[in-house]
Homo-oligomer: A and B are copies of this chain.
Amino acid sequence: MPEYICGVDLGGTKINTGIIDYNGNVLESIKVLTNAQEGAEAGINRICESILQVLKLTGLQIRDLKGIGIGSPGPLDTKKGIILYTSNLPGWGNIHIIDIIKEKLKIPVKIINDANAAALGEFLFGEGRGINNLLYVTISTGIGGGAVIGGKLYGGANSNAVEIGHMTIDINGPKCGCGNYGCFEALASGTAIARFAKNFIESGRDSQIKFLSGNEPIRAEHVFEAARNKDKLALEIIDREAFYLGVGIANLINLYNPQRIVLGGGVSNELEMFYEKMIDTIRKRALKSNVDICEIVKTKLGSDIGIIGAASQFIL
């Protein structure tokens, strides 16, 4: 009886592959670049090579694995194992990724949306243990979500539920990568933080952010660093982030009525910076009946959540 599972966290930039046991411990993991622009075939080859390499590191064989679980940006057709299209993996449209990997490695393969994977991982091994109505929210380059309701992943009609990043919160807001306007993601993701900073600086606002970013494009991290140094513009942008996050999360509380929300993703590492104002906005905007029973916490699984969650498909 196989006692291990392989988890593959397929991202726009990196592929993170690891082996976990049934207690959610990561035995070994490796990261390689996705190089998405080289196309799906090359990318899937890199995934397979990573799996074989990480197996070698652990001294295990393919037959020691119950299966390979993949977490991927969506939307997906999880039943057929297809990546339908995703802005983070250009050229990867309509890719039958499961069939290809099954064929190569002769082992069961499953795929789910990366945020759904993280929700599963939190439910089994993280801050979601014992929680009957759990919502996981990742705030990173984009914003994604997953819900575990009554011990089951809430997939919706075709596994594309909880696409919270593409919820309109400002009907007149900026255009989002999905084609819609004023999406939660277009206003509160790490990318949005960087864009606000860039626009303010280009319009002549003075700020440390400019110097911290040097010759690189401005990233959310530069804004956080400047905010820690009490830079005025950076603090304004953090306040704005707290507000937009608060509005979006208030919506989620009204819509899903979760018992707990676990926040993950790069931006949530800096949660302390905007927590108070975010909670204040949530309290003003969500129904009291729903806010009062909802806890908001930060993930403790770190960057391994992607691997653990993807592998969790073979546990839950």
Partner-B contacts on A (CB < 8 A)? 74-75, 77, 84, 132-133, 149, 154-164, 166-173, 178-182, 244, 247, 250-251, 254-259, 284-290, 293-294
Question: Are A255 and B74 also in contact (CB < 8 A) when A172-B172, A290-B160, A293-B157 are?
Answer: no
Chain A at the B interface: mostly helix, strand, loop or mixed? loop
Taking a contact as CB atoms closer than 8 A, the residue among B162, B181, B293 that contacts A158 in the complex is B293
Contact call B256/A156, Cβ cutoff below 8 A: yes
**Given A166-B287, A171-B182, A178-B287, 7 extra CB contacts under 8 A:** A75-B287, A75-B288, A133-B156, A161-B256, A162-B255, A167-B254, A167-B255
Closest B residue, CB atoms, query A179: B284
Question: Are A75 and B163 also in contact (CB < 8 A) when A157-B133, A256-B156 are?
Answer: no
Please indicate the chain B residues that have their CB under 8 angstroms from the CB of A259 in the complex.
157
Taking a contact as CB atoms closer than 8 A, the residue among B132, B160, B162 that contacts A289 in the complex is B160
The smallest beta-carbon distance between A152 and chain B, in angstroms, is 8
Please indicate the chain B residues that have their CB under 8 angstroms from the CB of A133 in the complex.
156-157, 161
Closest B residue, CB atoms, query A254: B163
Contact call A170/B170, Cβ cutoff below 8 A: yes
How many Å lie between the Cα of A179 and that of B247 in the bound state?
Answer: 13
How many Å lie between the Cα of A250 and that of B74 in the bound state?
Answer: 17
Taking a contact as CB atoms closer than 8 A, the residue among B75, B169, B178 that contacts A171 in the complex is B169
The smallest beta-carbon distance between A22 and chain B, in angstroms, is 26
How many Å lie between the Cα of A244 and that of B171 in the bound state?
Answer: 9
The smallest beta-carbon distance between A169 and chain B, in angstroms, is 5
Question: Are A257 and B173 also in contact (CB < 8 A) when A167-B251, A247-B168, A285-B168 are?
Answer: no
Contact call B157/A294, Cβ cutoff below 8 A: yes
Taking a contact as CB atoms closer than 8 A, the residue among B157, B159, B182, B290 that contacts A258 in the complex is B157
Contact call A257/B156, Cβ cutoff below 8 A: yes
Please indicate the chain B residues that have their CB under 8 angstroms from the CB of A288 in the complex.
75
Contact call A157/B257, Cβ cutoff below 8 A: yes
Please indicate the chain B residues that have their CB under 8 angstroms from the CB of A168 in the complex.
169, 247, 250-251, 285
Closest B residue, CB atoms, query A152: B150
The smallest beta-carbon distance between A130 and chain B, in angstroms, is 13
How many Å lie between the Cα of A161 and that of B147 in the bound state?
Answer: 13
Closest B residue, CB atoms, query A84: B289
How many Å lie between the Cα of A250 and that of B171 in the bound state?
Answer: 12
Please indicate the chain B residues that have their CB under 8 angstroms from the CB of A290 in the complex.
75, 156-158, 160, 163
Taking a contact as CB atoms closer than 8 A, the residue among B149, B161, B180, B285 that contacts A180 in the complex is B285
